[in-house]
Structures are given as C-alpha cells and as structure tokens.
Amino acid sequence: MAGAGGRAARAGGGGGGAGRVAGPGRRVGGARGPVAARASKPGAVLVNSCHGKMGHSTAEAVLDAGLNLVPLTFTADPSQGTIDVRGRQVALEGLEGMEASLARVQEEAAGDLMVVDYTLPSAVNPNAEIYAKLGIPFVMGTTGGDREALARTLADSGLYAVISPNMGKQIVALQSMLTQAARDFPGAWSGYTMKVTESHQSTKVDTSGTAKALVECFQGLGLKFDVSEIELLREHQGQLAFGVPQDHLDSGHAFHTYTLTSPDGSVVFEFKHNVCGRRTYAEGSVDACLFLKSQIDAGSEQRVFSMQDILRAGALS
C-alpha cells in the first residue's frame, strides 16, 4: 500500500519542545527520557492496513485488549467494501481519501486517536508525513522505507511515535542482550565467519529488519558480515527443508538462524528464533499503543521510542 503525500507540519502531543530526533528509542533534545508507564488507553486505534495479514492480526489484538478499534482502514484496492475482524465490520477506503478520513476520525475521537501502521515499505514515509501533518501519534511496525527521512519527519513535527522493526517482545529482548554484549565484549567473535538465513512468507518482499538489526549486533562482536549476505528463503521447498511447518508457509512465519563458526571450524555457535503466526507481534503492537499513550498523558519530553524502551519500562500486557 502506498500512501498519499503531505508536507510535515509542526504538530502533536503534550509536554515540552521536541528538540532533535536522534533516532528511534533515543532521547530527544537531551531532556529526561520516558516516564513510568501508567494504566492508560488511547481513545481509538486505527490499524493501517488491517486488510493485510499482519494488520488484521493486530486489529484482532486491539479488540482482544478491550481497545476501541476504528472500523476503517486503507488499501489500494477497496473493492471488497468491508472485512470482518472478530465479527466487527471494518470499512475499506482507497488511498486517495486517507488524509481527509484520518482528519475526520481524529475529530470524532476528540483528538485521542492513534494509528498502527502495517502497510508496505514504500508507504512508510508518505504515511508518516500524513500522520505528522495531522498530529496523530503512531506505532510504525512496517519495515523498510527511508528511516533517516522518517526521523526528520518526526523531528520537524515533534510527534509521539514508537518505531520498531520488530514488535515481538522476546525477540527484541534478545536483540537488546546482544547489543549489550557488543558493548561489553567488542570483538569477542573476531575471526569467526557467519551465515544468516531468514525465512518468511513469500509475500514479504524485503529483507527482515530484525535480521539486519541482529547482524549489526554481531558486527559489534567482531563479525565481518554485511546485510547483503543474508540468505532469504521465500520458496516452499527451501523453507520446508529449513524446518518451517507446512501450515505456516503462507499463513505467516519468521524463522531465523545465525551460525557463527571459528576459523578452523572446531567451534560453532548458533542463535535462532522461530515464530509461527503473527500473534506475538500483534500483542507487542498493542503494548506499544498503551505505552505511547502513557507517555503522551505524562507529557514525556522524549517523543520517539523503540520496543526496547517499552521493555525497559516493563510496560507489557
């Protein structure tokens, strides 16, 4: 899905000046970081686009958490009219009307609207510009796009957002542990070679953002490896051989293996995380909404957060 354009204007949330966005999860303007999470719920959550499988799972998790799901989503092909989410009919609308419709929904929600974005890499930046223009806080679960441009959009708008290439809480915790290991033990695996294989459903067009992030951690530990070397499995035969269950080939999976081998081949380390379905990411997305709302209500001077911030705060359902 590609979003309509829109110039980013100054907008968004409570508390303090925005200052400079140093990147997802970093402190803005040198001010105090995230405040203690409180029990708080956004007035309404719109999932863009719950026509897709990840968005649909997230919309289900929004309802399961007792949040108010906006019965509207956006898609390049609205011809189906509506889709069913847990018995609730969600209207499909074309991309050309997205900005005007979001403004209307925001007004109906008395300004207490939040968007969860699960669209396509090509839509990340134009969608974020629209959210920023309207002052709508958002959770960006879509990978890809121009992340530097995304950071500039947030810096210009002062908007509250959670940006994470992976909303799976336990996977992000693993990434955080490896990041800390790279700080504490730089070069611990120097001289080792690495092979990275990641398997996702064939509809995932880009390299996993999680794989890229973990590769960066391993680089800090001394591995000479470039993200371009990541092996992508998208064909069924190779995926079955990799251990992906037949039932999850197309319904959604994320199987990653990182193999580190010593120069003489006598020592091998293997890290892997295998996920079937999308539920864990959907639940993490809801946690992100609740956390972001708590930061807005408290007037946190930090505006841009990562899933690591949420984990550190213990703001998990």
Burial class (CB in 10 A: 0-12, 13-18, 19+), 159: buried
Residue type at 189?
W
Distance of alpha carbon 299 from alpha carbon 113, whole angstroms = 16
List b or e across 172-190, with b for residues whose CB sees 16 or more CB atoms inside 10 angstroms: bebbbebbebbeeeeeebe
**Active-site positions?**
200, 204
* Pairing relationship of beta strands 113-117 and 44-48 according to DSSP bridges: parallel
Burial class (CB in 10 A: 0-12, 13-18, 19+), 228: exposed
Tokens representing 208 are: 């996993």
